[in-house]
Amino acid sequence: MPIEKTQSLSILFVSATVPYPAIDGGRIRVLSLVSNLCKNNKVTFLTFIKSPEDMRGAQYLRDMGIEVVEVKWDYDKALDALLSVLKQIISGKPLTIAKYYSPAMADKLEDLLKNRSFDILHFEMLHTGQYILRIPNEYTAKRILDQQNIDSCIWQRLASTEHNPFKKLLYHWQYRAFSRFENKLCPIFNECVCVSKEDGDRLASICPGANIEFVPNGVDVDYFCPIETKENESSIVFVGSMDWQPNEDAVLYFCDSILPLIKPEIPDVKFYIVGSNPTDRVLKLKSMDGVVVTGLVDDVRPYMVESAVYVVPLRIGGGTRLKILQAFAMKKAVISTSVGCEGLGLVHGEHILISDNPKEFADNVIKLARDKQLRRKLGENGRLLVQDKYDWKAIAEKLDGVYRRLINQTTD
């Protein structure tokens, strides 16, 4: 018989990282999905534990009613880890996938499947998706791969923007390795979930045999809500995890190519770079007049509220940007590159201003800083959009629906 919507599913959710604290887009997505899925289903969360902070994050999940199964990430065995990574690379895996292969994780997964019955095996990105190769063919649970990004696309874009010959060669090698790995793995899953139609089309071109479903990113519209206060018209903000290379490239590009064009028109301009783990290159930006690098903050919202303009000058990346959805939820006016806002179905001049060269980007920042009415229009339209299409509760329900459809295909 078909499984009903009210029936509880047993879900094994495999993630390379503990999603709390939710300090980057990937963790925000995972935490938002599992915290909603666990309300009507039994969720078992299999993950690496790398630090005391991860242990506290695991307890946070347990307090929500999620069973957490831990695999220790052992940094003490550096040589063994290096040899293991080299072995995985020789086998054809991309570098950033190989480093997440752990025999202990594979053993734990096999043990869980041997002794437990699950309806759904959900693997978060290829970092954990690689473990599907260790699942016995006779195991009947449906297998889902959630692709927050199409990794080969990211590395291809990195290669296209890099000028250092050695790095360019490395990035191109990673691009080719990811393309081969995606082509090998994705068709094995019952469903590959992408966050945008654009990503789905990219994955389909790489893996013609893959089954692809669209489950977008979202935002907590209650947490990121408008706060009425006077904006500082000289303040610009960017929010993101600053050890993620596309974010690093975005703020370097903004400071090098766009900010100098803004300064003559807004001499007291302040550009706030808000996010955890700033790299050395980002920290050096503090020496520039008008640039503030905050590092990790307890709450990004005060910086967003105070700033008149929210910028997303991304030139590299994939998936969709949660940072834009958060800004919209707070009725902030956003300027982005085409890459930065792809996959969200946004209309230039209605929801956002889109600029793909430094002069145009700078001109739009100046325009928004001076035009309160335009900022209000964009902010209100953005808020309406996320309320209608991007609330996490509805998105988790859509993912739950994907699970049930796959199970019912078997029982029909």
Residue 343: per-residue pLDDT: 84
d(CA 364, CA 285): 22
Q: Which two tokens stand for residue 197?
A: 């139609």
Question: Per-residue pLDDT tens for 219-247?
Answer: 999 999 998 888 999 999 999 999 988 99
d(CA 144, CA 68): 19
Please say if the pLDDT value at position 207 is more than 80: yes
Residue 64: per-residue pLDDT: 96
d(CA 156, CA 154): 5
**Average pLDDT of the residues in 161-169:** 87
**Average pLDDT of the residues in 39-61:** 96
Residue 288: per-residue pLDDT: 96
Q: Which CATH number fits domain 232-389: 3.40.50.300, 3.40.50.2000, 3.20.10.10, 3.40.50.720?
A: 3.40.50.2000
Provide the 10 A C-beta neighbour count for residue 206: 17
Please say if the pLDDT value at position 371 is more than 70: yes
Please say if the pLDDT value at position 178 is more than 70: yes
Provide the 10 A C-beta neighbour count for residue 86: 11
pLDDT class for 31, splitting at 50, 70, 90?
very high
The torsion angles phi and psi of 194, rounded to 5 degrees, stand at -115, 155
Question: Per-residue pLDDT tens for 182-195?
Answer: 999 999 999 999 99
d(CA 236, CA 257): 15
Identical fold between 10-218+392-411 and 232-389: yes
Residue 359: per-residue pLDDT: 97
Domain ranges of the chain: 10-218+392-411, 232-389
Q: Which two tokens stand for residue 243?
A: 């050890």
CB 398 within 8 A of CB 36: no
d(CA 198, CA 312): 19
**Average pLDDT of the residues in 56-69:** 97
Which residue do the tokens 């902030």 mark? 332
Residue 406: per-residue pLDDT: 95
Alpha helices in 235-371 (DSSP H): 245-253, 259-262, 280-283, 301-306, 322-329, 338-341, 358-370
Window from 66-70, 166-170, 252-256, 398-402 with minimum mean pLDDT: 166-170
Residue 47: per-residue pLDDT: 98
Please say if the pLDDT value at position 271 is more than 80: yes
Residue 321: per-residue pLDDT: 80
Question: Per-residue pLDDT tens for 316-330?
Answer: 876 568 899 999 999
Using DSSP's 3-state secondary structure scheme, residue 334 falls into strand
Q: Which CATH code for domain 10-218+392-411?
A: 3.40.50.2000
Please say if the pLDDT value at position 76 is more than 60: no
CB 344 within 8 A of CB 320: yes
Share of the chain above pLDDT 90, in %: 74
Considering the entire predicted model, what is its pTM? Answer: 0.83
